[in-house]
Structure 1
Amino acid sequence: MNAAVCFGAVMHERHVQAHNRFIYPTAFLRLPLGRLDTLQVPLLGIDRPNVFAIYSRDHGARDGSPLLPWIRGVLDRHGLGELCDGEVVLQTMPRIFGFVFNPVSFWFCHDHARNLRVVLAEVNNTFGERHNYLVHHPDLRPIAAGDELRARKCFHVSPFFPVRGEYRFRFERQGEVHAVSVDLWDEGALRLSTRLSGRAQALDGSAMRKWLVRQPFMTLGVVARIHWQALRLALRRVRFHRKPAPPLEETT
């Protein structure tokens, strides 16, 4: 539950039509929202400019309002508020030199005994739209490492996949390594595999300086790599799907 920075990698593998696999180094923060206001870390600003910065306006309601009341409200509206009465940890990338694009951020919602109960996946596409997938076990039991949670795909992300099928999420922790796997299944077949993993270390000035030295333009690189991979698929004549209207509901 402590604030941490994780250094690791992100993997994508396309299994249909034009097989494509890539792995890139990455880093992300894990922030306990109950203590967000008290964090004081060199190079990291909380709702203020710095080399790295976390802004409330980049998440939740997107209006700069506090993040913890927002996620509590989402949980209450879906009848999960009493269940998730513990800490909420936001896993995301910060702005670096003022720029960020988070394809997905994860909100890990715990009960008072520190069991993981619900995860909200906050997804952004390159068209400036977003959608939330709220996942948990149907019987609301704690989410154990490696458990599979499913959600129907209803939001356009890549033009090389239609808006159909289902996501299968897995959340794991082994020691200090945190990992999230999200697989896209459609018509009984695995279409896309993704995995994000990183080894956690204390969120302090030393960790942020290491990030700055290793990947000073990481968030710009995220967008560049998305477009580079899209160009590769386009040159291989992978079928292109036009963007439909986004879902009317903010959270599935």
Structure 2
Amino acid sequence: MTVPAPPQVPALVVGEVTHTRRVPVRHAFRHRSYQWLVDLDDLPEPPALLRPLARFTAADHLDGGRLGGGIRGDLVRFLAGRGIAVEPDDRLLMLANARVLGHVFDPLTVFWCLGRGGDLRAAVFEVHNTYGERHAYLLEVDETGRAATDKQFYVSPFNDVSGRYDIRLRLERRRVSVVVGLDRAGERVLTATSRGTPEPATTRALLRVALTHPLMTQRVSALIRFHGIRLWRRLPVLPRPPHPKEAVR
């Protein structure tokens, strides 16, 4: 896959998140959202008064910065452990939530490793659950932006770790989107979509989204629990297996 003209970064990707569960019960929602698209070699630093609205720390991703080098160091080591050596002129982009007033919850972080000329050398999905665990998937993305991988991580208490993800990525100047479908036994169980329009992360743009999408990450956490309570009344809670920390190293 080639990404010849990714968006200017840092960018605010303002749009919406949708989620549709099809079986064994139907449940769907749509919410406004925004994420950050950033270069791991040049993480944004807003003016001092606005830093509480956007902060990125290694503790929130992958191996938590355990061996140094920040988020970039963790990603480089994760890829190296799977046979991909990051070259000096590669670009490492991350689509994620930032900390807002000290809080962050990031259901899905996406990393792109772009080589010279925009070729996609690697893509990584980092999935977080509400139990403080995370899992990273190295994806094989085809020329259409599509990938598939077996599910290995307990995300929802109403789904076990069986099934296969069908994933579609778009990283374009005017559109960034991630579509994740979970298939099990030939049937689509659920589809989650995050899409938005990237714009330069200026001070004015950050102030605007902070006003139009107040307490974004706190809202994400609250909405996950709200929808979970609604499903809890209709679905059994499945046991959560232990999860190895090596999954993000």
**Common fold: TM-score over 0.5:** yes
Partner of 1:219: 217
CA distance in 2, matches of 1:246, 1:160: 17
2:242 aligned partner? 245
The aligned residue for residue 87 of structure 1 is 91
Cα deviation per residue 1:16-35 (whole Å; 9 max; x = unaligned)? 01101100000000001122
Verify: 1:41 aligned to 2:46, yes or no: yes
Whole-Å separation in 1 of the counterparts to 2:147 and 2:245: 23
2:24 corresponds to 1:20: no
- Once the two structures are TM-superposed, the CA of residue 251 in structure 1 deviates from its matched residue by 4.4
Return the alpha-carbon distance in structure 1 between the equivalents of residues 31 and 146 of structure 2. 25
- Deviations 1:194-225 (CA, angstroms, capped at 9, x unpaired): 10011000011011101111112111111111
How far, CA to CA, are the matches of 2:197 and 2:216 in structure 1? Answer: 17
Cα distance in structure 1, aligned partners of 2:245 and 2:99: 28
Q: Does 1:135 align with 2:132?
A: no
2:4 aligned partner: none
Percent identity, please: 27
* Higher alpha-carbon deviation: 167-176 or 97-106: 167-176
TM-fit CA distance, 1:230: 1.0
Aligned to 2:57: 55
Look up the SS of the partner of 1:53 in the other structure: coil
What secondary structure sits across from 1:95 in the alignment?
A: coil
TM-score normalized by structure 2? 0.89
* Contact 1:44–1:53, Cα closer than 8 Å, also in 2: no
Q: Which runs of 5+ in 2 are unaligned?
A: 1-7
Task: Using the TM superposition, give the Cα deviation of residue 51 of structure 1 relative to its aligned residue in structure 2, in angstroms.
Answer: 2.7
Residue 13 of structure 1: CA displacement? 0.3
1:173 deviates by 3.9
Which of 69, 72, 77 aligns to 2:76? It is: 72
1:169 aligns with one of 162, 167, 170: 167
How far apart in 2 are the matches of 1:251 and 1:168?
21
Shift of 1:54: 1.3
* C-alpha spacing 1:240/1:40, structure 2 compared with 1 (3 Å): closer
The one-letter amino acid paired with 2:71 is L
Give the superposition deviation at 1:147: 3.0
**In structure 1, the residue corresponding to 2:42 is in which secondary structure?**
helix
Structure 1: give runs of 5+ residues left out of the alignment.
138-142
In 2: Cα distance, 1:85 partner to 1:133 partner: 23
**Matched letter for residue 41 of structure 1:** P
- Secondary structure at 1:157 match in 2: coil
Q: Classify the secondary structure of the residue corresponding to 2:111.
A: strand
Q: Distance in 1 between matches of 2:168 and 2:149?
A: 12
Deviates more, 1:76-85 or 1:87-96: 76-85
Partner of 1:140: none
Higher relative contact order (CA 8 A, sep 6+): 2
Structure 1 consecutive aligned stretches of length 4 or more whose deviation exceeds 4 Å: 82-85
Using a 3 Å threshold, how does the CA distance of structure 1 residues 22 and 154 change in structure 2: closer, same or farther? same
Aligned to 1:9: 16
Separation in structure 2 between the aligned mates of residue 84 and residue 105 of structure 1, nearest angstrom: 23
Distance between the aligned counterparts of 1:2 and 1:218, measured in 2? 20
Q: Following the alignment from structure 1 to structure 2, what is the Cα–Cα distance between the partners of residues 62 and 12? A: 28
Partners of 1:224 and 1:84 lie apart in 2 by: 40
TM-score, length basis structure 1: 0.88
CA-CA distance at 1:83 after TM superposition: 7.3
RMSD: 2.0
Equivalent residue pairs, number: 239
Q: Secondary structure at the match of 1:63?
A: coil
**How far 1:134 sits from its partner (Å)?**
0.9
